[in-house]
């Protein structure tokens, strides 16, 4: 069975989610109030529909509650985003992810029952800033306000040592959960695994500990 999703709002963020889900072989219903936007995605999404999602009867007629996950990616119109989320919740949609414009918007979304709230611009800003500040951090993914998962490239200071030699967890409080080596991925690497130059270490921990590790172990 293919996974089925609905994406409401076909701006840059919503549009990129539709494209990615289709790439991942999911069924996607793409919805926007603008017919022009809908026409743009008619050949990409499984189904593309022009509808006002603040109208409960319009949403019900599309059979939205039969989809396992709905993404509300409405751009500037915070009121439409909140109303749409509220209606989806009332209809009984199992999982709702909503794009928030700001912290106030997020508070309201969480109060009315959004399962996941994302800040794509803010989160992307954090990733880019982290990548710019450190030559070693290749990618950065925020797990919560305090915890992240990062990809760090091993340099000469780490190469040639085993994980047990480095004792990273005890010294810095972070965990290496995987090592990417060329086309290979070592998940939960053994303590005797020797790090090679240019290995990509997938590191998880608090932001403070990750920065401490990155500063002290790699510079």
For the stretch 6-59, pLDDT in tens is 999 999 899 999 998 998 889 999 999 999 999 999 999 999 999 999 999 999
> Whole-angstrom Cα distance, residue 50 to residue 122?
29
Which run of H or of E encompasses 149? Answer: strand 147-153
Kindly give, in sequence order, each residue whose CB lies less than 8 Å from that of residue 129, ignoring residues fewer than 6 positions away. Answer: none
> Whole-angstrom Cα distance, residue 162 to residue 192?
5
The model scores a pTM over 0.85: no
Give the pLDDT confidence score for residue 132 in this predicted structure.
61
Assign 127 a pLDDT band (cuts: 50, 70, 90): low
32 backbone dihedrals φ, ψ, rounded to 5°? -150, 155
Q: What radius of gyration, in Å, describes the C-alpha atoms of the chain?
A: 21
Give the pLDDT confidence score for residue 68 in this predicted structure.
86
User: Does position 131 have pLDDT exceeding 80, yes or no?
Assistant: no
């Amino acid at each position: 069975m293919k996974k089925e999703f609905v994406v409401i709002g076909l701006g840059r963020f919503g549009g990129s989610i539709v494209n990615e889900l289709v790439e991942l072989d999911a069924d996607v219903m793409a919805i926007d109030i603008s017919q022009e936007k809908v026409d743009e995605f008619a050949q990409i999404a499984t189904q593309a529909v022009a509808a006002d999602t603040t109208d409960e009867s319009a949403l019900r007629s599309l059979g939205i509650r039969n989809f396992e996950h709905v993404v509300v990616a409405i751009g500037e119109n915070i009121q439409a985003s909140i109303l749409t989320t509220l209606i989806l919740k009332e209809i009984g949609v199992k999982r709702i992810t909503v794009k928030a414009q700001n912290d106030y918007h997020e508070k309201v979304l969480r109060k009315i029952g959004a399962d996941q709230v994302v800040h794509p611009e803010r989160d992307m800003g954090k990733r880019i800033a982290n990548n710019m500040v450190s030559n070693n951090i290749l990618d950065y993914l925020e797990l919560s306000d305090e915890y992240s998962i990062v990809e760090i490239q091993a340099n000469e200071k780490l190469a040639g040592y085993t994980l047990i030699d480095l004792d990273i967890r005890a010294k810095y409080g972070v965990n290496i959960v995987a090592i990417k080596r060329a086309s290979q991925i070592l998940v939960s690497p053994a303590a005797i695994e020797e790090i090679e130059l240019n290995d990509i270490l997938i590191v998880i921990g608090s932001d403070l500990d990750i920065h401490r590790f990155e500063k002290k172990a790699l510079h």
